[in-house]
């Protein structure tokens, strides 16, 4: 496992996606932010 930060962000984002479908569509916003942060983290190398 090279980057634990990316894995944690991905898991949290998946949680927010689940909440989006189960609770309210507004949970999509933090999910998108986390996915964006993941991309930046992965592009650093």
- The confidence score (pLDDT) of residue 15 equals 94
DSSP 8-state assignment for residue 45: -
- The confidence score (pLDDT) of residue 4 equals 87
DSSP assignment of 5-33, as one string? HHHHHHHHHHHHHHHHHHT-GGGHHHHHH
Q: How confident is the model at residue 1 (pLDDT cuts 50, 70, 90)?
A: low
Q: 4-43 pLDDT, tens per residue? A: 888 898 999 999 999 999 999 899 999 999 999 999 988 8
- The confidence score (pLDDT) of residue 3 equals 81
DSSP 8-state assignment for residue 44: T
- The confidence score (pLDDT) of residue 40 equals 92
Question: What span, in angstroms and rounded, lies between the C-alpha atoms of 6 and 33?
Answer: 13
């Amino acid at each position: 496992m090279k980057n634990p930060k990316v894995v944690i962000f991905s898991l949290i984002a998946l949680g927010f996606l689940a909440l989006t479908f189960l609770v309210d569509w507004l949970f999509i916003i933090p999910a998108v932010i986390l996915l964006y942060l993941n991309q930046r983290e992965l592009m650093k190398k």
